[in-house]
Each structure stands twice: as C-alpha cells, then as structure tokens.
Structure 1
Amino acid sequence: MRYSYIFYVLTLFFSACQEVENIEGQFELNKIFIGNEEYTWGSENPLKIPVDQIITLVFSQEIDESSVDEGLLLTKINEGVVNISINVNGNSVSIFPSGSLTYSSEYEIEITEKLKSSSGADAIRQNINFFTQLEKLGIHELNIDGRVINLNNLILQNVQVDTDIRIEFSAAIDQEKFEEAISIGNEDLVFEYNETNTIVDFRPQQELSYLKKYQINLENGDIGALGENFDGFSKTFFTRLDSTYKFDEISDEALLTKIQAQTFQYFWDFAHPNSGLARERNTSGDLVTIGGSGFGLMAIIVGIERGFITRQEGIDRFEKIVNFLSDADRFHGVWPHWMNGNTGNTIPFSELDDGADLVETAFMIQGLLAVRQYLDESNAQELAIINQITTLWEGVEWDWFTKGGEDVLYWHWSPENEWAMNLPIRGWNESLIIYVLAASSPTHPIEKSVYDAGWARNGGIINGSSVYEINMPLGETLGGPLFFAHYSFLGLDPRNLQDQYANYWEQNQAHSLVNQAHCTINPNNFIGYSEACWGLTASDNHQGYSAHSPGNDLGVITPTAAISSIPYTPEESMKAIRHFYYLLGDRLWGEYGFYDAFNVTQDWYADSYLAIDQGPIITMIENHRTALIWDIFMQDPDVQKGLNDLGFTF
C-alpha cells in the first residue's frame, strides 16, 4: 500500500513521456527516473540516489509484461539479487524494492535479452550501476556544561556564561564544513575534536551576557566526513543570572532614598516646562496626563520632605500646576485623560474618549487634596493655592456622572460623544478612590446607594476564595494587575480601613502576596521569575502595552508592581528591589530610576518611563517609611466625612 499513491502519480507522469526517439526495430532503454527525477547513467561519478524511491525505466517500445520477471534484475553488488515488485505501463516499468534499499551501497539494474517488446523484439542487453545515498548524520548526544540535554526540550535555562558545549555525532564530521554550519548568534567560537572527528567540543571565545537568550544553530548540509547529510538542528538556551552586584552595596534605607530621589526627577526635571504637569511617558512631548500628574503632586510633597527640593521650589511648582489646571479644559468640572501641556486643550485618548475622564480626575483630586492639607494657611502664597484647589475640588460634578441618577458612576463623558463610551465604574479594580471622593464632595456628593449598587455591586465585589493558600477578599481570585492595590491607596490609608465588604489592608496585602507567589511558582515557566523577581501590573511590554496579572501573564516583570507594594509586603518587596538594583541594575536602572518593564524570555528590556508607574514608587515607599501621604490625606475633613457617610471605619 505504501507505493500505491506514488505509483498512481508516476503513472500519470510517465504517460506523458511515451514519445521517445527510436531506430526502427530496436527495443532499448531510453530514460531512467528515480522518483520523479531523471537519472543520467554511465557517468564517472554515479549518482547517489535516495534509498526509498521508485525506479522507473522508460523504453523505446511498449513492453511485453509477461517477459519482465525474467528480463529485469536488481542486484546489490557483492550480496545478490534484490526482491522486487514490478508494474508495467506501456513502454515504462516501475521497480519497487521489497523494503528500502540500504544506505552507502552499490546496486546494478540488469536488462537482459529476455525482456521483450509487445511486438516480440528483444531488449538490448544493458547494465546500469548506481549508488545509494550515505546514511544521514545524526546527533547521539548533546552536552552543555556537563549536562546531557534532551534534544526535544525547546528551552534550556541557567547555562553558564563561559559555557562548554559538546556534540557527539553518529559518524565522523568534516571539521571545516561543521565550523561553517554552526553558530551561536554572532559569537566567535573555539573548537576541539576527538581523534575520530565524531565528538566536537566548542565554546564562545568571549563570555556570553548573563540572563540572555541564545540559540545554537547547526544548518542542514553535507557536514559528514564522507559527505553524509545532516538535517539541521537548533537549541534555544538562556544564560544564568550573574550574581555579581552591578552597583556598590548600600544600606536598605539609603537604597530606598536613592530610588525615590532618582524617580522623583521624572516629575521634577522632566515635567512639562509650561504646565508643570507630568508627561504621559518619556517620549510624549507636549502630551501631559492628568492621573499621573496627580501622583506627581504627592511625589513633590515627598521631595520637599526628603530634601530633594526646597519647600519654596515645591510651592512654586504647585502654584504653576494649579494655575494651569484652572484654565485647562474641564467638562462638568472633570478633566480629560490627556491634554496639551502648553494650551490645556484636550488630546483625545481614543476616538470616543475626547472629554471628561472621571477616574483620571479622581487621581488628580487625590493629589490636590493632599497638597491642600499639606500647605500652610498662614503663608499668603500657600493660602492662595489652597483656595484654588478648593475651587477646583468643589467644581467637580461627581453626581452628574451618575448619568441622570443611576446607582453607578460612569467613567467618561464628552460634549461631542456624550455617554457613547458607556463604561460604568464597578469594583473591584483601581477605582475605590473615585467613589470615596464622590461621597466626600461638599458640593456634588453621591448617595451611599451609588457606592453599594454601583461600585460594590450589592456585595458582588466579594470573593473570599483562596489561591496559593492565600485568601482573596475582593475581586478576581488571582488578584488582577497589582496597580489595583496602589492607585487608590497613595493617599487613602488602608491600614485600618474597613467597611461591610472588606478590610482593605488585608485585601491589598493578599493581592500582593498572590502576585509574588505566582511569580515564585511560575506556572508558565517564564525565564527570570523567582521569589525575588516578581511583579505583574499594567505596563509596556514586548508587544506594546498590557495589564499584566497572574491571569494575563506574558512573562513581563514591571518593577513598580513589587516596589509599590512595599507597605504590604516589606520583606518580599525589598528582596525584589535588591534584585532589580544590584543584579539587574545595568539593564533596568536609568535616568529616572527603574525602566518600565522587562521580559527575559523575549530578551526585551524597556527604555521607557510612564508617569502612572513612576508615581506610586515614590509615594508608596514613603508611606512604608513614614506614612507621610497617608497621614496628610486622611486628615482632610471632606475625606473623613465621605468615608463616614459610606460606612467606613478608619
């Protein structure tokens, strides 16, 4: 049965080859095909043919099928006649060996005068010799750094940077051809061979980079010493982590200060020169972001208290920002997500999102209220800023974003598209602060029913199940992206915060621990994950941008995730900070602190900074160290009233 389909194809093929030149009366061989390739016999270097192909002979006349068994013989030289099956089709005959021919062997096809044409003519006697191909060259064993490697495993980890690689072949290889065919990226290689050229040891001339993706690639070709063919081979591997410190070791307290100071420069030196607001990212030009700028306001308070800037420098920057915000686009008191830092005009976030963004505005108000509480009413300049902030705060029409009185707040509205975005804000996610501020408003508050039915979904927000032996009070079991535990809690103090749905310290701590446990267990086998290398949250990635989480794990670690969780997981976060700074610092540390994200599996490291990722680092480290922003924000009387109205204890 294995030849039936091939024979059918060849029958069709050779039916087109019936017309051949012939001296009238002679019955002779005209052509030979091996598979569907024509074979020229009689050359000084006989063709090496595959061992599993059908041999087809094309004669000058139609063949007498009854004469074929005696008139055609296939012989293996020095061994004898090979059993064959034969099929005749007009003037062609196909020979099927019983089983494959053997590699590296010489055969002979003998045509005798006993082969007759259908008209009775004797065939001209002829002998055709050919050789079969050499047996394919194979790998018997691959050994890397003394480890025998399973050739079927796709990825190999923890290879030494000064790796030694050994390949044992099934037969001797041609050294020159092998060295032309083998590569590890663009590395120069050094080779050693055993006496029989069946084993080769090779290594890069220079040490490889640590924790980096490489590929051993051996191209297909006739690299055997006798010309044997090799099908090709590749093996991806990752070098091991380099445990050498990339920077001098300092105390943990000094390291935290260094991270705060370096990250602070994003909101200070890199702030938009006209508005003082934070650019969306380090490539945004005049585009500034409202939520990230709210984070930046709290960072400036930290910068004053840490001595990164003087108080007067900070007050002047607050004044510039508040003046700009007062004249910028607002819609029912709500700013857009993005605006132009020169003009204050809206820059659409998407086609329909070209107006108010209530969530981004809440992040800004959180920062403004912290500034208002921080400033000194006895100072005339500071009092003027306090009054401007109060005007902006009281101008936000939170209740209007219930879309005519529904028991839920809506994220967007614009004059052009109105409610077309149609995105209700429901928990659990990063948006608790929106409902707290909406309830706290002295001019446009929402009712508690909006919080209960809209945000808490009448209790639907509650989870209570466990993962990695950790109980998750709210939201999805795997916690979601870790910014859920950060954005609302830069000012809102979760340490004693509780309502009928959850204790929010327990929620955020559990969320952080689940995130760290997931990266430690590493169910997707990503490279670089460990108990010290963790943190899944929204950030840039090798494909663009995504909200990374245990349920959306793409192999991307985002430093802000573990760092900003330091109040909840001080030991685990400090371990990650040391790992990012000392062990990966030559790749992750830059002008404004840690770059946004990295993916070792994809050999990708960001060169970007995002305001919404940089801001929580500064403030949450400070909340861990001194509770500075928590204490300031929670003293605001409007916020206290709002929390009380919603049924919180704090």
Structure 2
Amino acid sequence: MKRYLLLLSVSFFTNVCVAQQKTKVSNTTSPEKTSIQHNLTDSALLDLVQKQTFKYFWDFADPFSGMARERSNVTDYGPELAATGGTGFGVMAIIVAVNRNWITRDTAVRRLLKLVKFLSKANKYHGIFPHWLNGETGKTIPFSSKDDGGDVVETSYLMEGLLCAREYFNKDNPEEKQLRQRITWMWNDVDYNWQTRGGISVLYWHWSPNNGWAMNAEIRGWNECLITYILAASSPEHSIEPDVYNHGWAVNNNFHNGKKFYVYTLPLGFDYGGPLFFAHYSFLGLDPHGLKDKYADYWEQNQNHTLINHAYCVDNPKHYKGYGADCWGLTASDSYVGYSAHSPTNDLGVISPTAALSSFPYTPGYSMQALRHFYFDLGDKIWGQYGFVDAFSESKNWYAKSYLAIDEGPIVVMIENYRTGLLWKLFMNIAEIQQGLKKLGFESPYIK
C-alpha cells in the first residue's frame, strides 16, 4: 500500500486514506436489512438499485443543510461531517430522482434551495470550499492538519453537480430562477486562477489561510481530476489559460502509458489503470463519447481501463475467493484494514460494488452480470437500506457495514447515464463548458 500511495502522491485517495484512518471509523452497527425481490427483470433491477441508493442523499442527508454526509457510520468527527464532493454527486442523484418521478420537482427545488443558501454562508476560500464542512454550522472541518482550507477538486465535484441542476431546473418561476441565480453566483466566485499560485502553469489542490500552500499538491494527471481543469478553463470570471492544462495536468511521469494489459491498450495513467473511480468522478458530467484531445480518446481510455480491471479480476492472479466474471471491480473504498485504494496493483481481495456498477456505460454486459450476482447471490450479505454496502471480501468473510457518499453517488448517476445519458446531456450542453472544452482543444459531438 505504501508503494502504491507513493506512486499516486497527488491523487485524491492519498489524502483520503490518511484522513479516513484518522477518523477511527466505528463499524459496529449493521446496515438495516432490506428483503431481496426475486424474478426482477434487468430493467426493474436497475430501477431498484438506483432508487434505493438515492435514499442515501435524500433520507440520510444532513437535516439542517441538505449536505451529503461523508459516510453512514459514525466517526470521531460526529454526524455533522458533510462531504463537499459527495454533495455534488448527491445533487446529480436528486436530478435523476426527479426525472424518474421518485420525488416531485417542487420538493427537489426546495431541498436544493436550502442547500445553496447554506453553502452561500459556509466557509470558502477565494470561492473554493473545503473538503469537509460541518453540515450544521458551515464551518470547515480539517481534512488533515494542514488541509484546513479550500479544496479545488472537491469544489469541482460540487460544481459539476450544481451546474447540472442549473441546467435541469429551467422553469420560469421564482423558485427555480432563484436556484439558477444562486448557483451562478457560486460558480462565478470559484477563483480557479488563485489555485495556480500566482501564475504557475499547474493547478494546486489546496490553499489554507492558516497554512498557505503548505500542502504543495500539484494536480497532475492521470487521475480523477480532469473535471477540475475543464471547469477551470470554463470559468466565466477566473478562467485558466491552456498552458496550465498542457504544462500542468498533462506533464507527469504517470500521464502517458500506451501499453497493453490483457489485450487492451491503455492510453493514459498507471499500469493496469489504477482504481476505477478515475473513470467515474470526472465523467459523471463529462460525456466521454467522442471526447478527444491531443492526448487521448476518453471513451477508449475509460472503457479499456474498465475492461482491464474486469479482466484482472477474472484472471485473479492472487486466487482470492469470489473473484470472477460475475464478481469484479476494484476501486477506493473501505476494507478490512481501513480505507484503501484498491486496484490490480493494490489488490487486497476486496470488491467494491461501486466499481462495476458505476461502469455500466463502459461495460454494460459485465456490469449487469456483476449486479445480478451482487443482488441475487450475495444480497443478504451486502444489500441494505441505501443499496449495496461499500465493499466486501469473501476471502476474509468481511462485509462492510458502511455506505460512503463518494461511492453511492456514481452508482445512481452512471447507471442513469448508461440508460438515458441524462447528466451527460445536461452538463455537456452548458455554454461555458463547451467554451472551456474548445479552449483546451477538445473535440466533442456536443461542441457547437
């Protein structure tokens, strides 16, 4: 694990693994059991999984603010621990819920207005929110000793969701107009240029009024942060120049790859692709179909990354119990030794359901095979009040009792993108996003 984290020193899960270990997570309360329904069609099963998972962001949201709680189980930080990025994923899940008539449009707008009003008064730094907020007070909860200020990556996940909401809730009534206006104000305030540290050609992940740039984390690819550069280039008030993307994001020893793994060519990133959330977080809004720049075809990148992950689990070189064609998917999640960034090069025998389920757009047949196994064969062990628990290891006879916002949200959103393309259409049709993509030299069928 230490070797893997050294390789990925500027990636999200480096910080997450450290912080999650410090939370001293309580894992003593079992998730509420939900009965398994038999004889479901594939379509009905997808409906059920999306709807049940959505409840994490609706029923379990912070009652004061509507923010997504970081996780379902209690940590030393208490129940008010709210996740900025997870909240952005949750906003996208709410859009899905409205579109599928699980909740009414007016009810969703009221919840989102409460959220954006809370965020307007919450701590932010040059318009950039911290990784964690107190869901009642809006005060920063430090992610680590020096990470007590703005987190531009988490803020980008939040804005990815809010911009989709601005596009979706387009009615000409006072409530939706106010929602759109407040989101636009928040979007305009995010000072992406500030994160270049005075004009250096790279974005920096963190800044703190107490610790300045002490975290010193340059955001270089390939990892889960492409959305940060796209939004930074798209910003109406604080847009970065293409040089920041080309000489920051795309300049790294682990950016270009080009090698084959299990017959699949991987254009970018670490050998075997790394954890699968690289193919999810940025692409909840970004549609990878036909999305290309001079570095990669992003459909090829994400699909081949997923196919490599699947092929590795089928190959199962470490002979873990349960691995196979119907049980696959390695990504960052809880594990029997704490939070870990699972991948073919960091394989602890832990399967994370979000990995295969959030990959439905890339591998629909393999993902459905995994879903049917998770639900019908393992259901009593891993299915609960908010869908599937975070992870499990059949080799260790270990089944998580936790749900995490950053793992729940992509399940709802990426299954929806597979089924209807809803979030992709919303995000990619935003004028600012199209301008930002063009500025950075991207091609996309959406670009007019």
Tell me the TM-score normalised to structure 1 length.
0.62
Contact in 2 for aligned 1:441/1:638 (Cα 8 Å) = yes
Of residues 331, 336, 343 in structure 2, which corresponds to 1:537? 331
| Correspondence 1:389 to 2:183 | yes
Which whole-Å deviations, capped at 9, do the CAs of 1:260-315 have from their partners, x for residues lacking one?
00000000000000000100000251110000000000000000011110111111
Q: What amino acid sits opposite 2:193 in the alignment?
A: D
Q: Distance in 1 between matches of 2:208 and 2:152?
A: 11
Mapped contact 2:255–2:268 kept (Cα < 8 A): yes
1:274 to 64, 86, 98: 64
**Structure 1 partner of 2:367:** 573
- The one-letter amino acid paired with 1:599 is S
- Specify the code of the residue in structure 2 equivalent to 1:405: G
Higher strand proportion: 1
Pairwise CA distance, 1:379: 1.4
Contact 2:356 2:370 in 1 (8 A): yes
Measured against aligned partners, the alpha-carbon deviations of 1:564-615 in whole angstroms (never above 9, x if no partner) come to 0000000000000001000000101000000000011111100100000000
Question: Matched residues in 2 for 1:562 and 1:246: separation?
Answer: 20
- Asked whether 1:469 is paired with 2:270, we answer no
User: Superposition pairs for residues 139-218 of structure 1, below 5 Å?
Assistant: none
Q: Secondary structure at the match of 2:412?
A: helix
Amino acid at match of 1:612: I
Cross-structure match for 2:41: 251
User: In the TM superposition, what is the alpha-carbon distance from 1:380 to its structure 2 partner?
Assistant: 1.4
Name the structure 2 match of 1:404. Answer: 198
CA contact (8 A) 1:538 1:548 kept: yes
Match of 1:621 among 411, 415, 438: 415
Q: What is the deviation of 1:377?
A: 4.5
**What secondary structure, in the 3-state scheme, does the structure 2 residue paired with 1:473 have?**
strand
SS at match of 1:288: strand
Are residues 1:603 and 2:397 paired?
A: yes
Shift of 1:404: 1.1
Q: Write the deviation string for residues 328-360 of structure 1: whole angstroms up to 9, x where unpaired.
A: 000010000001111000000111111100100
**What is the DSSP-based 3-state SS (H/G/I as helix, E as strand, rest coil) of the residue aligned with 2:66?**
coil
Could you tell me how far apart the structure 2 residues matched to 1:464 and 1:437 are?
Answer: 27
Contact 1:459/1:501 (8 A) holds in 2: no
Kindly, what percent of the aligned residue pairs are identical? 58
Distance 1:442 1:556 in 2: 42
Question: Do the aligned partners of 1:246 and 1:584 also contact (CA within 8 Å) in 2?
Answer: no
Q: How does 1:60-209 map to 2 (within 5 A)?
A: none
Match of 2:351 in 1: 557
Deviations 1:421-459 (Å, cap 9, x if unpaired)?
A: 110000000000000000000100101010001101189
Letter in 2 for 1:283: N
4+ long deviations beyond 3 Å? none
Partner of 1:445: 239
Aligned residue number for residue 433 of structure 2: 639
> How far apart in 2 are the matches of 1:443 and 1:250?
49
Q: 1:142 maps to which residue?
A: none
1:490 is the counterpart of 2:284: yes
Q: Distance in 2 between matches of 1:614 and 1:460?
A: 28
Tell me if 1:378 matches 2:168. no
Q: Does the alignment pair 1:359 with 2:153? A: yes
AA in 2 matched with 1:257? D
Q: Distance in 1 between matches of 2:237 and 2:172?
A: 26
1:335 equivalent in structure 2: 129
Which SS does the other structure have where 2:340 is aligned? strand
- Give the 3-state SS of the residue equivalent to 1:478 in structure 2: helix
Q: TM-score, normalised by structure 2?
A: 0.89
Code of the residue aligned with 2:62 in structure 1: it is H
**How many residues are treated as equivalent by the alignment?**
406
TM-superposed CA distance for 1:375, in Å, is: 1.3
Residue 434 of structure 1: aligned partner: 228
SS at match of 2:334: strand
Contact 2:284–2:424 (8 Å) recurs in 1: yes
How far did 1:461 drift? 1.8
- Highest relative contact order (Cα 8 Å, sep 6+), 1 or 2? 2
Write out aligned runs for 1:339-350 (5 A): 339-350=133-144
1:437 and 1:642 in contact (8 A); partners too: yes
Superposed CA RMSD in Å reads 1.1
Q: CA deviation at 1:477?
A: 2.1
Q: How much does 1:460 deviate?
A: 6.3
Compute the displacement of 1:390 (Å): 0.5
- SS at structure 2 position matched to 1:336: coil
Letter in 2 for 1:252: D
Task: Give the Cα–Cα distance (whole angstroms) in 2 for the partners of residues 556 and 491 of structure 1.
Answer: 28
CA contact (8 A) 2:274 2:344 kept: yes
Residues 68-112 of structure 1: CA deviation (Å, up to 9, x unaligned):
xxxxxxxxxxxxxxxxxxxxxxxxxxxxxxxxxxxxxxxxxxxxx
Letter in 2 for 1:389: I
Greater Rg, structure 1 or structure 2? Answer: 1
1:496, CA displacement in angstroms? 1.3
Structure 1 unmatched runs, 5+: 1-244
Query: Aligned partners of 1:343 and 1:499: how far apart in 2?
Result: 42
In the aligned structure 1, how far is the partner of 2:211 from the partner of 2:353?
A: 37
| Local SS of the residue matching 2:256 | coil
- CA distance 1:423–1:519, shift in 2 (3 Å): same
Q: Which residue of 1 aligns with 2:388?
A: 594
Aligned to 1:3: none
Q: Which one has a larger percent helix, Structure 1 or Structure 2? A: 2
